[in-house]
């Protein structure tokens, strides 16, 4: 009887120990996750589009942790994905029949400039891994220049659809997709500049 009670107490003690250990580990993970998310949110608050920034990057918080370079790298990848989708859409629209001449011309321009944006962002992602973050780091300067050029290209595409004469479904589709791409590009550039500043680089002014 005594052995049975002792065995029961031992089992209960083990269960309690592992329960506390599991709870402690889970709490630590949750705390770490919250800390990472807070870092992303705080960083996003310094961009022009903080809500879009956190909605797009918050899900990668545990990958980003509290690393400004990783945050900028992830932002570039998210921006590239959105811009590539917009570029593919422009190519699809360019093949549709029944467009007005001005629409056709504006879309053709978008195909060219947004295609350039895709190339510039891809180049930036490739170079980001080599960025040292020193004051004299030419890689950071190149990345800032390319991403800034990508933002200009996005704006150029949307400028082609300015004015009431371009109202319609095609304009709405283009503006919706290009606005998101442009805003994400702005976010990425701000986070790259922030990384550069934190490492002692002079950042481009948005």
Nearest to 137 by CA among 186, 199, 198: 199
Task: Give mean pLDDT, residues 74-101.
Answer: 94
Q: 12: exposed, middle or buried (C-beta count within 10 Å: 0-12, 13-18, 19+)?
A: exposed
Note the pLDDT of residue 159. Answer: 95
Count how many Cα atoms sit within 13 Å of the Cα of residue 153 in the half-sphere of its side chain: 25
Q: Where exactly are the structural domains of the chain?
A: 45-198
Residue 63 structure tokens: 């990958």
pTM: 0.81
At 196, the pLDDT band (50, 70, 90 cuts) reads: confident
Q: What is the C-alpha separation between 148 and 204, in angstroms, rounded?
A: 9
Residue 85 structure tokens: 């989708």
Q: Taking the alpha carbons of 16, 17, 22, 24 in that order, is the dihedral positive or negative? A: positive
pLDDT at 74 over 70: yes
Residue 82 structure tokens: 């959105």
> What is the tens place of the pLDDT at every residue in 82-95?
999 999 999 999 99
Note the pLDDT of residue 7. Answer: 54
Note the pLDDT of residue 19. Answer: 53
144 CB-near residues (< 8 Å, 6+ apart): 189, 192, 193, 196, 203, 204
Mean model confidence pLDDT for the chain: 84
Note the pLDDT of residue 202. Answer: 42
Task: Give mean pLDDT, residues 13-35.
Answer: 51
Task: Give mean pLDDT, residues 166-172.
Answer: 87
Buried b (16+ CB within 10 A) or exposed e, 101-135: eebbebbebbbebbbbbbebbeebbebbeebebee
> What is the tens place of the pLDDT at every residue in 49-73?
999 999 999 999 999 999 999 999 9
Rounded to 10°, the helix 68-94/169-198 angle is: 160
Instruction: Tell me which CATH homologous superfamily contains domain 45-198.
Output: Invertase/pectin methylesterase inhibitor family protein (1.20.140.40)
Q: How does DSSP classify residue 3?
A: H
At 109, the pLDDT band (50, 70, 90 cuts) reads: very high
Q: What is the C-alpha separation between 69 and 65, in angstroms, rounded?
A: 10
Q: What is the C-alpha separation between 178 and 90, in angstroms, rounded?
A: 10
């Amino acid at each position: 009887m005594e052995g049975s009670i002792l065995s029961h107490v031992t089992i209960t003690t083990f269960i309690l120990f592992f329960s506390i250990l599991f709870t402690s580990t889970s709490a630590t993970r949750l705390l770490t996750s919250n800390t990472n998310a807070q870092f992303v949110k705080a960083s996003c608050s310094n961009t022009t589009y903080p809500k879009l920034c956190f909605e797009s990057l918050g899900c990668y918080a545990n990958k980003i942790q509290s690393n400004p370079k990783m945050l900028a790298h992830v932002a570039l990848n998210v921006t590239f994905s959105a811009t590539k989708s917009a570029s593919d859409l422009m190519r699809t629209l360019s093949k549709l029949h029944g467009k007005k001449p001005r629409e056709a011309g504006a879309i053709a321009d978008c195909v060219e400039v947004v295609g350039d944006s895709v190339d510039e962002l891809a180049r930036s992602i490739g170079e980001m891994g080599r960025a040292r973050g020193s004051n004299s780091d030419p890689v950071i300067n190149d990345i800032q220049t390319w991403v800034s050029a990508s933002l200009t290209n996005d704006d150029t595409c949307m400028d082609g659809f300015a004015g009431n004469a371009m109202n319609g479904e095609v304009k709405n589709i283009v503006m919706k997709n290009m606005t998101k791409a442009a805003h994400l590009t702005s976010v990425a550039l701000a986070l790259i500049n922030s990384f550069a500043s934190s490492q002692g680089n002079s950042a481009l002014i948005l």
